[in-house]
Structure 1
Amino acid sequence: MAYRNGESSAARGRPRDADLERRITAAVLEILAEDGYEDVTFEAVARRCQTSKASLYRRWGAKRDMVIAAVKAGPARHSTSPLPRGTTLREDLLALARRLEGTMAAADIGTALMLLQAGLKDPELCDAIESSAGPTGARLPQAVIDAAVTRGELPAGASPFAFDEVVGSVLLLRHANGLAVDDAYLSALVDTVIIPALVASATSGTALPAGLFSGHPDTRTTDPIQEDS
């Protein structure tokens, strides 16, 4: 039986080329780090990894899907297993922070920054990465907060803002500046910053904004500096 473009049934049924998969992943992440999310196109990726656009379209119907697959196969490759639930809030927070540290350590700093910027423009991209390649450790799941409230470790109404805003930000900055991130550092961050802030968030008296790594932070719509007329 003939197929369009001369493709045989054997070719259509053959397993994917592992080397090509690696080249595609590398090309997507390189373009993302060098030029940003907007410049990651099927044409640019095909040219970079020396394959045809058709071979990419056979795998993914949209650019977002291709980027998610590259992140999952690259920086987030160690984040695909379920995260064990701890018996205390501290254990859960440290597990999330360690998971995120592993993801950050596996990513080029340029890629991480560009992914963050892309996520700010396209919140659905962040959600898709988190659901497909996560938990990445960048967000504090509501289930962790609920369990801590049930155990009496957090007051009702605690907000994930502190975790979503701080942990990813400081890990990104420390990696960008070549600073060590070991278990002692993560423990200090959780014990002296995150847990106290989570406790305080329940009694802040105001609704806290969505954190930077929440996937849905508030976007600035006006100039923060207002000149006097």
Structure 2
Amino acid sequence: MGRPRDAGREAEILGVAYEVLVERGYEGITFEEVARRAKASKPTLYRRWKSKRDLVVAALQAGPASTEEPGVVDTGSLRGDLLALARRLRATMHATDGYSAVALLQAGFEDRELGDAIEHSMGPTGGRLPAAVIDAAVRRGELPEGADPFPYEEVTGSVLLLRRLNDLDTGDAYLEALVDAVLLPALRASATAAEQPLPAGVFSNRAAPVAAAPDSEGNSPA
């Protein structure tokens, strides 16, 4: 049998991993750097976390992405579900400074499987609108068949992040206004908004980056 894990030491390492993530982004975090800063060996880290993705998810679970309300969102109404999701996302963004929130968002963009892992391991984070929420709203008659998550996933995280970066109010009165004046009408309209499928929202984890344009001589970027 191996040595029992030291919970305090593990928390220390995860704290270092989160610091490196914020400083260098997801692409810049390495086992070597985390081990060096935490004064631990790489084998120690690999025994606990098999991949960088596992390490980052654990660091987020232990830090700002943690939630006291994990699991399915089901308040009994679409309005209540949207408010619950927006509050979860607000809590995550306000658990750290705005630029750290950008780093966490960027990590999900750079590794879609990381975004999925965070969502699945901690329950809905509030960045996405779960299909179960839409399905329940359709059954209750609050949304038409074919309603699309695009309005929620394009708007909610974007405005909360922008307000976080500019120290603007995101209290419950603001969230209620956002839900009532923007999200609910937009979600109801999304079923008939266009003949073509709506694009993936920026927080959906499905939005595809635009390819860089060729240079002045017509050469594609490397």
TM-score surpassing 0.5? yes
On the 8 A contact 2:26/2:110 being kept in 1, the answer is: no
Match of 1:127 in 2: 116
In structure 2, the residue matched to 1:146 is 135
Contact 2:73 2:85 in 1 (8 A): no
Corresponding position: 1:211 with 2:204: no
Give SS of 2:84's match: helix
Bigger Rg, which one: 1
Distance 1:84 1:199 in 2: 19
Corresponding residue of 1:137? 126
Report the Cα distance in structure 1 between the residues aligned to 2:191 and 2:75, rounded to whole angstroms: 22
| 1:129-172 alpha-carbon deviations (Å, 9 max, x no partner) | 11012211111011111111111111111100011111111111
**1:43 & 1:215 partners in 2: Cα distance?**
28
Identical-residue share of aligned pairs (%): 56
**Matched residues in 1 for 2:98 and 2:212: separation?**
29
- Structure 1 residue 224: Cα displacement: 10
TM-score (norm 1): 0.88
**Are positions 1:115 and 2:104 aligned together?**
yes
Distance 2:75 2:116 in 1: 24
1:103 is the counterpart of 2:97? no
The answer to whether the Cα contact below 8 Å between 2:152 and 2:183 also exists between their aligned partners in 1 is yes
Q: 1:160 to 1:79 in 2, by over 3 A?
A: farther
**Alpha-carbon distance in 1 for matches of 2:73, 2:105:** 26
Question: Structure 1 residue 97: deviation in Å?
Answer: 0.7
Structure 1: gaps (5+ residues): 1-8
Structure 2-normalised TM-score?
A: 0.90
Give the match for residue 3 of structure 1: none
User: In the TM superposition, what whole-angstrom CA distance separates every residue of 1:92-120 from its partner, at most 9, and x where no partner exists?
Assistant: 10111111111111133333212222222
After TM superposition, the structure 1 = structure 2 runs for residues 32-43 of structure 1, keeping only pairs within 5 Å, are 32-43=21-32
- Would the aligned equivalents of 1:76 and 1:103 in 2 still touch at CA under 8 Å? yes
For 1:75-86, list aligned pairs within 5 A.
75-78=64-67, 81-86=70-75
Asked if structure 2 preserves the Cα contact closer than 8 Å seen for 1:79 and 1:133, the reply is no
The 8 Å contact of residues 29 and 111 in structure 1, kept in 2 or not, is answered as: no
- Out of 163, 182, 189, the position equivalent to 1:200 is 189
1:176 aligns with 2:165: yes
What 5-or-longer segments of structure 2 have no aligned partner? Answer: 217-222
Of 6, 23, 43, the match for 2:12: 23
The total of aligned residue pairs comes to 216
**C-alpha deviations, 1:185-216, integer Å up to 9, x for none?**
11011001111110111111231111111111
Cα distance between partner residues in 2 of 1:176 and 1:225: 33
CA distance in 2, matches of 1:77, 1:115: 13
Deviation at 1:79, TM superposition (A): 5.3
> CA-atom RMSD, angstroms?
2.0
